[in-house]
Amino acid sequence: MMTVAKGVVVVALVLGAARAHAQTAQCVVTEIVASSDKKGLDPRLERLKAKLVRPPFSAWDTFVLVGEQSVSAERLKPATAPLTQGTLTLLYKDKMAAQGGRARLRFGVDLDNKQGRRSVSTVVAFDAGDPLLIAGEPVKGGTYILALGCTAP
């Protein structure tokens, strides 16, 4: 009985731990300004190079990192982060069954402009670690690109 009870306790603990981990996602929010100033790729953006050299971003030749931060998002609780162009609100909704070895995460992503007005609201499902890009807003000096990559261990 004890063994069984222990086993049950162990299983419960394991399940509890997995559930606790899945409750929080870690996101990296990267802000970029693209332009045609012939200055190339900011070295700090090397991990995104494969995406930025492809269309439509290949239309520009200069990519400057203007902000980067880590954001923890607890499941079903809005997490806000200040951006150079306003505010980001992330809502970690769900972690779905892993595909091809990677988890699939479901997020609500809201962007508010500097005046506090909601400019974009989207719900996206993406693979953990695979950045989603939101781009196109003209800003001083070029075009704004927001890269959002999240993991949920």
DSSP codes joined into one string, 13-35: HHHHHHHHHHTEEEEEEEEEEEE
Cα(33)–Cα(139) distance, integer angstroms: 8
| Separation in Å, CA 129 to CA 5, 29, 45, 66, 102 | 38, 12, 15, 21, 8
Minimal distance in Å, beta carbon 136 to another protein? Answer: 4
Contact 131, 32 (CB under 8 A): no
Between residues 71 and 146, which has the closer beta carbon with respect to another protein? 146
Q: What are phi and psi of 11, to 5 degrees?
A: -60, -45
Between residues 71 and 149, which has the closer beta carbon with respect to another protein? 149
Between residues 23 and 119, which has the closer beta carbon with respect to another protein? 119
Between residues 71 and 111, which has the closer beta carbon with respect to another protein? 111
Contact 76, 94 (CB under 8 A): no
Q: Which residues bind another protein (CB under 8 A)?
A: 36, 50-51, 54-56, 58-60, 99-100, 102, 104, 106, 117-127, 129-138, 143
